[in-house]
Amino acid sequence: MPILLILGLLFTCSVHANSPYQNATSVGMIVKNEWHDSDTITGVGIEAMGYFNQSPFGFSVSSALGVADVRVKDRQRKESYTTLDTGIKVGYFADVFVYGEVGLDLFEMLFYDLSRSHRVAYNDGLYLDTDDKPRNNSIDGYIGVGAGINVEPFKVEVFTRYRQIDSEDWEAQNSIFSGVQVSMMF
């Protein structure tokens, strides 16, 4: 998967090189924070942009290493974990921009099989799965919309995301997060 991200960055840079938006930025660093009540997800990362047919319509690929601190559905405790939010935005990217986005937690996707451990018992030469507990550990993902302004070299955007966050043993209390992202583009 990291190879796909690198290839995506190279592709967006080559698309950008042929764009009439020569002064527009193509690769940058991002800082983001999103929240719902006391739940927070904070991260830093990279973003690359490309345009369709030499127009302001385009896409952005980003990946941000972060820390999430979310309340569990039973509301008696909070869970903290590391996340690698990786996603794509598609929209109108001019001085004022709007977009739709979709993404997932790349860490959870990469280590998904490791987190699905089962207790196994050896019985007469056969391995039996003795863990009959139902699994509730989907790969965390999100879908959202956002808008912002581009004042080179900075971009400031606000967004709202519907997030699916869970583990084998818990599910997040909140699923709607709002946030702010600041980017410095090169």
pLDDT higher than 90, residue 141: yes
What percentage of residues in the chain have a pLDDT greater than 70?
Answer: 73
pTM: 0.76
Q: Taking residues 15-31, what's their average pLDDT?
A: 63
What percentage of residues in the chain have a pLDDT greater than 90?
Answer: 58
Q: Where are the alpha helices (DSSP H) in 22-177?
A: 106-110
pLDDT higher than 90, residue 99: yes
Q: pLDDT digit string (tens) for 47-73?
A: 999 988 888 999 999 999 999 999 998
pLDDT higher than 60, residue 186: yes
Residue 184 CA to residue 75 CA, distance in Å, equals 37
162-166 CB contacts, 8 Å cutoff, 24+ apart: 164/138, 164/140, 165/68, 165/70, 165/140, 166/136, 166/137, 166/138, 166/140
